[in-house]
Structure 1
Amino acid sequence: MSQDKPTTDVPQGETQGHRTRQDADYWERVTGTVEDHGHSLKHVLSLWPSYVRRQHLTRFLAHYELFKMALDLPGCFVEIGVYRGSSFLTWHKLMETFCATDRRRKVFGFDHFQGLTDFNAKDGAMDPRDGKMPGGFETSDVRGEILELIDVHNQDNLIPGVARSHLVEGDVKESLPRFLEENPGLRISLLHLDADLYEPTRAALEHLFPLVVNGGVVVFDEYGLIPWQGESAAADEYFDRIGYKPKWRRFAWSTQPQGYFIKD
């Protein structure tokens, strides 16, 4: 491995379980255990239940529950806001596990790696404590890593060389219309919206919600969270405009995602 590649960890404020002394103690002890025993990354990932923290496990389990709701439906998975690929590659792994021979069922992700850029008055005040600021959650410095991980996963498919996951780069207000023009047959069984802000969320709904099949799962990572009022406003305004009333749900045992519903 090249020594000049960045070794940037995810910023502490951008994930769960980093804000208290207990959180810090957990990571210090686990890191110390791995280092003291000379464990390799392969060892840690192969035995990941021994090392993963419960807060991160609940998010994975929530995604699994959502996946099961969409498993028997026609259509692909679409994620808006890939960030570092955790959810995106979870969908990939689950689809490759449960639909391994269905090569036409894909996972499409949309991101521009620039973080939060398209603020609207409806997004409300900035809040740097939650990363709510221009450039918050930017991943341009690890773009190569994300693309490499997607390629690694696609090469590890049951049928290597047939890509399961595709990342579409660019501003969704521009990339989505272009993508849909090139792929008019797209139908969606699970739509995951994690753009945080009003403008990209509204654009995604305008273009993609009509393509979600009846019974499809629509997921919002920040719906109803006070710092992310723009995402909620975009959803409420769009559904009011089309006369649709989502029956909102959430998992009481997981903080992510904050809301989802089944399209009827």
Structure 2
Amino acid sequence: MSETFVASKLSGSDIADPRRMYTELLKKTLTRYTFGEAWQPYEPRPRSLRGTLVRQGRRVLHRRGLELVSKFSFDADARANGRDWPPDAETMVGLRRLDNVEHCVLDVLRRGVPGDLIETGVWRGGTVIFMRALLAAYAEHDRTVWVADSFRGLPKPEAHRVEDVEDALWTVPFLAVSLPQVKENFRRYGLLDEQVRFLPGWFEDTLPDAPVERIAVMRLDGDLYDSTSVALRSLYPKLSVGGYVIIDDYHAVRGCQQAVDDFRAEFGITDELVPVDWTCRYWQRTR
């Protein structure tokens, strides 16, 4: 499958359906796909002379209500395929992975597969915002969107998880987004209501006893081996037959892929692992 994204065009029937127009617009807004170039805070190399000068100058600029920024070049293919880290979007998963979320959610709604929707590892909340938007657009009032995250970044992996240690994702401040900010992002889109519930904390503390009774779509974006493993072990038993498991980082993060492979092998899961884009994979539970 080619990684080149060709922007989808609405058919005549889609244009007559405001739900499709809404969800297409929302995908391109949450990813900032339609906005092109952006700006980001300028960050020089740490412990460099330039870095020292920038930090000193930044304090002066801040007192005047100014900020030192650099241009973030926009690449349409990278944004569509979730290959960049956009400075101001609510999600970095790209259009193709949001298409996949839409496919899975609408399929379980159409077939009446029982259960809620959950994402583990939400960053700024864009994907769960989109899940809630789908429930709103299709007048689904009996399902909850669960938002599970530490809201302070990734945990430091155990030393024996060599791949995770080498990736060092827990050291990246950009990946840490607070609970108030995620709630505010929901609020901006008019989607913060009683059908959204939050599970703040490390997955090992929140997921095993999470008050989720049944799941129709579970999307895992915890990156690391243990984060992925505990999510699968805690939530998969609650997944309805006919529901979906989406793994955001299967190809991109070595620990994540190993956790998925180990889990599927241990429990004899042979459902086809379907590619979404260069990294994301999903399967539908058949038994």
TM-score band by shorter chain is 0.5 to 0.7
Q: Distance in 1 between matches of 2:193 and 2:180?
A: 21
Q: Contact between 2:116 and 2:216, CA under 8 Å: does it hold in 1?
A: yes
> Corresponding residue for 1:112?
150
Q: Which runs of 5+ in 1 are unaligned?
A: 1-14, 18-25, 30-52
For the aligned residue pairs, the C-alpha RMSD in angstroms reads: 2.8
* Superposed counterparts of 1:48-59, under 5 Å: 54-55=80-81, 56-59=94-97
Q: Give the alignment's TM-score, normalised by structure 2.
A: 0.61
> Corresponding residue for 1:27?
37
> Corresponding residue for 2:171?
135
Q: Distance in 2 between matches of 1:162 and 1:145?
A: 15
Q: Distance in 1 between matches of 2:177 and 2:95?
A: 26
Choose the corresponding residue for 1:247, options 272, 280, 284: 272
Q: Distance in 2 between matches of 1:243 and 1:58?
A: 29
Check 1:162–1:141 CA distance in 2 against 1; reply closer, same or farther (3 A cut): closer
Q: Contact between 1:89 and 1:150, CA under 8 Å: does it hold in 2?
A: yes
Q: Secondary structure of the equivalent of 1:260?
A: strand
* Aligned partner letter, 2:233: E
- Moved >6 Å (runs of 4+): none
* Aligned partner letter, 1:170: G
> Corresponding residue for 1:221?
248
Check 1:141–1:189 CA distance in 2 against 1; reply closer, same or farther (3 A cut): closer
Q: Which runs of 5+ in 2 are unaligned?
A: 1-30, 40-78, 82-93
Q: Distance in 2 between matches of 1:187 and 1:210?
A: 9
Choose the corresponding residue for 1:64, options 89, 92, 102: 102
Q: Distance in 2 between matches of 1:57 and 1:247?
A: 22
**Residue correspondences, number:** 200
Q: Distance in 1 between matches of 2:223 and 2:32?
A: 16
Deviation for aligned residue 1:125: 5.8
Q: Distance in 1 between matches of 2:186 and 2:179?
A: 11
Q: Distance in 2 between matches of 1:119 and 1:82?
A: 19
> Corresponding residue for 2:209?
178
Deviation for aligned residue 1:110: 0.5
Check 1:137–1:222 CA distance in 2 against 1; reply closer, same or farther (3 A cut): farther
Q: Contact between 2:128 and 2:145, CA under 8 Å: does it hold in 1?
A: yes
Check 1:255–1:69 CA distance in 2 against 1; reply closer, same or farther (3 A cut): farther
* Superposed counterparts of 1:65-214, under 5 Å: 65-71=103-109, 72=111, 73-98=113-138, 100=139, 102-120=140-158, 121-122=160-161, 124=163, 126=165, 132-136=168-172, 138=174, 140=176, 142-153=178-189, 156=190, 163-180=194-211, 183=212, 186-214=213-241
Q: Distance in 2 between matches of 1:58 and 1:150?
A: 21
Q: Contact between 1:202 and 1:238, CA under 8 Å: does it hold in 2?
A: yes
Query: Which one scores higher on RCO, CA 8 angstroms, separation ≥ 6?
Result: 1
Deviation for aligned residue 1:135: 3.2
Q: Give the alignment's TM-score, normalised by structure 1.
A: 0.66
Q: Contact between 1:79 and 1:193, CA under 8 Å: does it hold in 2?
A: yes
Q: Secondary structure of the equivalent of 1:167?
A: strand
Q: Secondary structure of the equivalent of 2:161?
A: helix
Check 1:112–1:142 CA distance in 2 against 1; reply closer, same or farther (3 A cut): closer
